[in-house]
Amino acid sequence: MEVIKDVSKDIEKILDMSECYAKRAVLLKQDFPSLAQSYYNSSTTCLTMMKDFHNEIVSIINDYTKQGKETPAPMAAIYNYLHERFIERAAAIRNLQDLFKQ
Protein backbone atom coordinates (compact mmCIF):
# COMPACT_ATOMS: atom_id res chain seq x y z
CA MET A 1 0.00 0.00 0.00
CA GLU A 2 1.82 3.00 -1.35
CA VAL A 3 -0.45 5.44 0.46
CA ILE A 4 0.90 4.30 3.84
CA LYS A 5 4.45 5.08 2.75
CA ASP A 6 3.37 8.49 1.45
CA VAL A 7 1.50 9.41 4.62
CA SER A 8 4.43 8.18 6.70
CA LYS A 9 6.71 10.57 4.83
CA ASP A 10 4.28 13.38 5.58
CA ILE A 11 4.21 12.43 9.25
CA GLU A 12 8.01 12.53 9.30
CA LYS A 13 7.93 16.08 7.88
CA ILE A 14 5.31 17.14 10.42
CA LEU A 15 7.44 15.76 13.26
CA ASP A 16 10.44 17.66 11.89
CA MET A 17 8.43 20.89 11.94
CA SER A 18 7.07 20.22 15.41
CA GLU A 19 10.56 19.57 16.76
CA CYS A 20 11.94 22.71 15.12
CA TYR A 21 9.12 24.83 16.55
CA ALA A 22 9.50 23.34 20.04
CA LYS A 23 13.25 24.04 20.02
CA ARG A 24 12.67 27.63 18.90
CA ALA A 25 10.06 28.10 21.60
CA VAL A 26 12.55 27.03 24.25
CA LEU A 27 15.33 29.20 22.82
CA LEU A 28 13.18 32.32 22.48
CA LYS A 29 11.21 32.00 25.71
CA GLN A 30 13.26 34.51 27.74
CA ASP A 31 13.79 37.24 25.15
CA PHE A 32 10.64 36.95 23.03
CA PRO A 33 7.92 35.28 25.09
CA SER A 34 5.05 36.04 22.71
CA LEU A 35 6.94 34.72 19.69
CA ALA A 36 8.05 31.71 21.72
CA GLN A 37 4.42 30.99 22.62
CA SER A 38 3.50 31.08 18.92
CA TYR A 39 6.22 28.55 18.17
CA TYR A 40 5.04 26.37 21.05
CA ASN A 41 1.45 26.53 19.78
CA SER A 42 2.61 25.59 16.28
CA SER A 43 4.54 22.65 17.69
CA THR A 44 1.49 21.33 19.52
CA THR A 45 -0.65 21.82 16.40
CA CYS A 46 1.83 19.73 14.42
CA LEU A 47 1.60 16.90 16.94
CA THR A 48 -2.19 16.99 16.64
CA MET A 49 -1.84 16.78 12.85
CA MET A 50 0.52 13.84 13.26
CA LYS A 51 -2.03 12.02 15.42
CA ASP A 52 -4.75 12.67 12.83
CA PHE A 53 -2.64 11.20 10.02
CA HIS A 54 -1.64 8.27 12.19
CA ASN A 55 -5.31 7.54 12.91
CA GLU A 56 -6.00 7.60 9.18
CA ILE A 57 -3.27 5.04 8.55
CA VAL A 58 -4.71 2.79 11.26
CA SER A 59 -8.15 3.18 9.68
CA ILE A 60 -6.81 2.20 6.25
CA ILE A 61 -5.15 -0.91 7.68
CA ASN A 62 -8.30 -1.82 9.64
CA ASP A 63 -10.48 -1.40 6.53
CA TYR A 64 -8.08 -3.59 4.60
CA THR A 65 -8.45 -6.28 7.26
CA LYS A 66 -12.26 -5.91 7.42
CA GLN A 67 -12.40 -6.64 3.69
CA GLY A 68 -11.01 -10.06 4.50
CA LYS A 69 -7.58 -9.24 3.20
CA GLU A 70 -4.58 -10.24 5.24
CA THR A 71 -2.13 -7.47 5.92
CA PRO A 72 1.02 -8.29 3.97
CA ALA A 73 4.01 -8.96 6.22
CA PRO A 74 6.12 -6.19 4.65
CA MET A 75 3.33 -3.66 5.21
CA ALA A 76 2.97 -4.72 8.85
CA ALA A 77 6.74 -4.57 9.35
CA ILE A 78 6.95 -1.07 7.88
CA TYR A 79 4.02 0.11 9.97
CA ASN A 80 5.45 -1.35 13.19
CA TYR A 81 8.88 0.17 12.57
CA LEU A 82 7.53 3.61 11.70
CA HIS A 83 4.99 3.52 14.52
CA GLU A 84 7.73 2.97 17.10
CA ARG A 85 9.90 5.64 15.51
CA PHE A 86 7.07 8.17 15.52
CA ILE A 87 6.20 7.41 19.15
CA GLU A 88 9.82 8.00 20.19
CA ARG A 89 10.09 11.24 18.23
CA ALA A 90 6.77 12.55 19.56
CA ALA A 91 7.89 11.79 23.13
CA ALA A 92 11.12 13.73 22.59
CA ILE A 93 9.14 16.66 21.18
CA ARG A 94 6.77 16.58 24.16
CA ASN A 95 9.83 16.79 26.41
CA LEU A 96 10.90 19.95 24.59
CA GLN A 97 7.38 21.33 24.93
CA ASP A 98 7.49 20.58 28.65
CA LEU A 99 10.77 22.51 28.91
CA PHE A 100 9.00 25.49 27.40
CA LYS A 101 6.13 25.25 29.89
CA GLN A 102 8.48 25.26 32.90
**Tally of structural domains, the chain:** 1
Closest CA to 55 of 9, 1, 11: 11
CA 47/CA 74 separation, integer angstroms: 27
Q: What is the pLDDT along the chain (102 residues), one digit of tens a residue?
A: 678 778 888 999 999 999 999 999 999 999 999 999 999 999 999 999 999 998 988 888 888 888 888 777 777 787 788 888 899 999 999 999 999 999
Per-residue model confidence (pLDDT) at position 61: 81
pTM: 0.85
Provide the residue range defining the domain that includes 53.
2-101
CB distance 50 to 91 below 8 Å: no
Per-residue model confidence (pLDDT) at position 1: 66
